[in-house]
Amino acid sequence: MANSSYAGLPGRLRASAPGWTTRSDVVVIGSGIAGLTAALRVHAALNSRTDDGSANQGATVLVVTKTVLNAGSTQWAQGGIAAALGPGDTPEQHEHDTLVAGAGACDPDAVRALVTEGPDAVRELIALGTNFDHRDGVLSLTREGGHHRDRIAHAGGDATGAEIQRALIAAVEAAPEIEVIQHALAIDLLRSADGGVAGVTLHVIGEGQRDGVGAVHCRAVVLASGGLGQVFSQSTNPSVSTGDGMALAMRAGATLRDLEFVQFHPTVMYLGPDSRGQQPLISEAVRGEGAFLVDFEGNRFMQGQHELADLAPRDVVAKAITRRMHETDKPHMWLDARHLGAEFWEKRFPTILGVCRSHGVDPVNELIPVAPAHHFASGGVATDLHGRSSVAGLYATGEVACSGVHGANRLASNSLLEGLVFSRRIADVLPAELRAWAEPAPDEREAHLASADVRPAMQALMTDNVSVLRSEEGLSAALDALPELARTTGSEGVEAWEATNLLTIATALTTAALGRRETRGSHWREDFPDRDDDRWAGHFDARLEDGVVDVSFHPAPASDLTEGAIR
Ligand code: SIN
């Protein structure tokens, strides 16, 4: 129903013809919790003995990652991983909190799978060697925004992602039959005559035979390439989060869903108006341990706004901070965690303490300046309950995917869990449905590359018009300006491939945000300040057709609108 007025997004990225070719049954793109779990589980599943004579014995799995194995968002995750593991907690309570945070846009079946399979998935991560924090021999669990129970397992205090990443890399390194190619950007999918997966083109910065653009022929691709943070000028995401997997999937004909639901983390350390790129996150777990927000006059403005006050769901807190910033004409608010004390800070939040101090703020004695900034894409490549996209042989898991568990606003610490649970679910089905080897068909799609130089202008457009608070005027202004940036011409290379991917996703995201004329979860429209279940309970699907983003609205089935989901 909503079309971008744009006719310049490429059907494929301009790139040299492949100078080398290799083969692997399955290619996993990305090396965070979702990618490495998928690689380990898919490899094990393919090679396990089956009653019908182990048809897939010897099947190979190749992991490709844009820079190095631990460069993605998993490494940076602070708070932890949510699962109903504590006394008195149940999957039903976790389900309830997830649905409420998701503001009526979750897929209830996906949420059910997440919360019921989550505890075992975390136990398996522990069995794999992940050292979660314990107190008196018992797994230590904390609370974050939107959770009514302590259910966040953490490691190294506030270094949960780094510890999970370490354990998964060790497991992959102990499985030499899983091949890894680092410094490999996935450019485009190769498709067979039936439109399904036949391979993927890569650009590798390597030495020897696999250097430059090459092709990997394969029978399935698992996308686990993370999010799109670099669409905005400031994000908690690392520099590698350039929406590559989402854009690749769109060019291959896949449907993307819920792109307008971009999560802005309420407490990102404010480093000044000119700060760009990855910004320091102050985990919600700091508020979970008792920190609270204050304005410049020391007022605790979250009190009375929500029953959970400073621990309200993330969208509620981000909106309250933004409102207070506007009301008081200030560029940020403050987080007060002084009362936690030096000893507690050093033990529980050593990473955040170090980062704050490196920026000249000592949270033991001083308030931390905080403001909302981009944090997470709740939408992505639309998948079913087993990670299947709408393209045969293409699966997606983790932040690149829209499995339906996050709805309009992801519940804190459900993202690592999503990657874990849905990668396991892909491994459950992939061996039985592995496609036959197929030759890539000639690719007639129009190739183009935008100039890498347009990236700061695109980020400024998106930050000014498509951030926490949106309006028809701002969204239209962004959609009017994006095509001119995309029509520029760039030279082949990582910077231009990334810029073109970012422009593709920025256009789709903005088109969906313009279409959703209501406020729901993290999508906040100042011109449509209320949630409208009669008109907008459902999803925006985005597809790329002949260079144009086509976004269509699909009402949710009535069965999805359970009481919990629409509360
Ligand atoms: C945080 O630690 O506040 C972020 C955790 C998350 O995004 O789930």
CATH of the domain at 305: 3.90.700.10
Q: Please tell me if the CB atom of residue 284 comes closer than 6 angstroms to any atom of ligand 1.
A: yes
Query: Which are the catalytic amino acids?
Result: 314
Domain boundary among 314, 339, 372: 372
CA of 76 to the centre of ligand 1 (A): 10
Percentage of the chain beyond pLDDT 70 is: 96
Is residue 481 assigned to a domain? yes
pTM, to two decimals? 0.94
Among residues 372, 403, 427, the one where a domain terminates is 372
Give a yes or no: residue 56 inside a domain. no
Q: Which of 416, 400, 34, 88 is nearest to 246 (CA)?
A: 400
458 and 546 in one domain?
yes
Pocket flag, ligand 1, residue 522 (CB < 6 Å):
no
| Ligand 1 within 6 A of CB of 412 | yes
Q: Residues 188-234: pLDDT tens digits?
A: 999 999 999 999 999 999 887 888 999 999 999 999 999 999 999 99
Q: Decide whether any atom of ligand 1 lies within 6 Å of the 230 Cβ.
A: no
For residue 300, give the nearest of 327, 320, 322 by alpha carbon. Answer: 320
Residue 444 has a pLDDT of 87
Backbone angles phi, psi at 218, to 5 degrees: -155, 175
State which residues form the domain around 510: 2-9+446-557
Per the domain annotation, does 284 fall within a domain?
A: yes
Domain total of the chain: 2
Of 345, 372, 399, the residue at which a domain comes to its end is: 372
Predicted confidence at residue 245, as pLDDT, reads: 98
Question: Has residue 455 been placed in a domain?
Answer: yes
Q: Does residue 564 carry a pLDDT above 70?
A: no
Residue 562 belongs to a domain: no
Same structural domain, 454 and 551: yes
> Which residue of 152, 265, 415, 416 sits with most ligand 1 atoms within 8 Å of its CB, as the best mutation to test the pocket?
265
Residues 455 and 550 in one domain: yes
Instruction: Look at residue 206 and tell me if it is in a domain.
Output: no
Centroid of ligand 1 to alpha carbon of 161 (angstroms): 10
Arithmetic mean of pLDDT, 335-342:
98
Averaged pLDDT, 383-398: 98
Residues 549 and 460 in one domain: yes
> Is the sign of the CA dihedral 264, 267, 269, 274 positive or negative?
positive
Whole-number Å distance, alpha carbon 145 to ligand 1 midpoint, is: 9
Residues 6+ apart with CB under 8 A from 378: 258, 261, 262, 263, 402, 406, 407, 408, 409, 410, 521, 522
Query: Is residue 285 in contact with ligand 1, taking CB distance under 6 Å?
Result: yes
Ligand 1 centroid distance, CA of 260 (Å):
20
Is the predicted pLDDT of residue 7 greater than 80, yes or no? no
Residue 322: inside a domain, yes or no? yes
Cα–Cα distance list, 90 to 82, 149, 276 (Å): 12, 9, 41
Handedness of CA 275, 281, 284, 289 (dihedral sign): negative
> Ligand 1 pocket, 283 CB below 6 A?
yes
Q: Is the pLDDT of residue 500 over 70?
A: yes
- Which range (25-29, 152-156, 321-325, 441-445) has the least confidence? 441-445
- Of ligand 1's atoms, which has the minimum distance to the CA of residue 314? 3
Mean pLDDT of the residues in the chain: 94
